[in-house]
Amino acid sequence: MRIAFLNVFAAFTLLLQLAGCSVVSLREPSPEAKTNRPAQQPLMSKPSLPAPHTPAPATPPEPQRPTPGQTQDSPAAAVQAPLPAPLPGTSSARPAPAPAPAPQPAPMPTPPPAPATQPAPLSNQSAGLQSLATDPLSYRKDAARHLYQHYAQRIYKGKLPPLLKSVSVVEVLVGPGGQVLDITWSRPPRLAEVRQEIESMILKAGPFPAPLKLRKVTYTETWLWHASGLFQLDTLTEGQR
C-alpha cells in the first residue's frame, strides 16, 4: 500500500509541474511592455521545461527470515502469543516428574535348615549321656563307665592290693535327665573324709546318662578306695591280688 501511495504522489507532482510550465509559456507580453522594453535588453528566452522527475522505484522490503520457533507464514513483527494464565490456586511451574523407584535388590535365597542331628542313644554296653538300660543292673554298668571317663586320672591301674583304705556301698537315685536326686549309704566309709570325697565326686560327675526307658533308676555301687586316693568300682574292677 505504501508503494501505491508513493506512485500516486509522484504522478500528482508531475502533473503540477507540467501545468505550471504551460501557463508560463502561454502568457504573451502586453504591447506596453514591448514598447517600454529597452532596445538593448534581449527578449526573454522561453524557459526550458525541466525534465520530469521520475521517482526511483521503491525496492520491496527484504522478507524477514523466521526466527526459530516461528513459522514462515507468520509475519516477522508478529508478537508471540502469550501463554495462558495459570488458574487460581495452581502453580505456573510444571510439576517435576516423579523419580523412578530404585530397583529392589533380589532377596537372598534362604539356605535350607540343617537337619537336626540327635545323638544316638547308647546301649547298656557303652557310656554316654543317654542310656537304653531296661533294669538297674544294666544301668549300673553305664553309670560306672561314665564315672571312669570323668575321673580317668584317678582310676587304679591293675589289680588292687589285698588291703584297702575303704570299701563302701552307696545307692544313687538318678532322675529322667540324668541328674543325681539322692545318695544313700548302705555301707558308709569309716573315714569321714573318704565319705565326703566320694559324695563330691558323684555330684560333680552329673548329669549321669539319662535312663530313657526307666525314667528314674536307683542303682547300687561298691567303691574300692586305695590309700593313694585312687579307686576302682566293683562293676569294672580288675580284682585284687
Of 225, 218, 219, the closest CA to residue 195 belongs to 225
Average pLDDT over residues 169-197: 95
User: Pick the residue with more confidence: 42 or 173?
Assistant: 173
Residue range 171-192: mean pLDDT, rounded = 95
Q: Is a pLDDT exceeding 90 seen at residue 165? A: yes
Mean pLDDT of the chain: 74
Residue ranges and CATH numbers for the domains of the chain are 130-236 (3.30.1150)
Report the amino acid identity of residue 114. Answer: A
pLDDT of 156 strictly over 80: yes
Tens of pLDDT, residues 82-141: 555 555 555 555 656 666 777 777 777 676 665 554 444 444 334 448 999 999 999 999
DSSP letter string, 100-164: PPPPPPPPPPPPPPPPP-PPPPP-TTS-SSEE--SSHHHHHHHHHHHHHHHTGGGBPPSPBPS--
- Across residues 47-75, what is the average pLDDT? 54
pLDDT band at 9 (very low <50, low <70, confident <90, very high): confident
> Residue 67: CB partners within 8 Å, gap ≥ 6?
76
Of the pLDDT bands very low, low, confident and very high (cuts 50, 70, 90), residue 241 is: confident
Tell which wins on pLDDT, 14 or 124. 14
Contact (CB, 8 A) for 202 and 194: no
Q: Are strands 130-131 and 210-211 parallel, antiparallel or unpaired?
A: parallel
| Residue 13 pLDDT > 90 | no
173-190: average pLDDT = 95
* pLDDT of the residue at 119: 41
* Alpha-carbon gap, residue 173 to 140, rounded angstroms: 11
Of 93, 3, 9, 102, residue with least CA distance to 53: 9
State the cell numbers at 235: 562293676
pTM, 2 dp: 0.48
Radius of gyration of the chain (CA): 70
**Stretch 136-154: mean pLDDT, rounded?**
95
Higher-pLDDT residue of 86, 16: 16
> Which pLDDT belongs to residue 15?
76
- Given this model, what pLDDT does residue 203 score? 96
Higher pLDDT, 63 or 240: 240
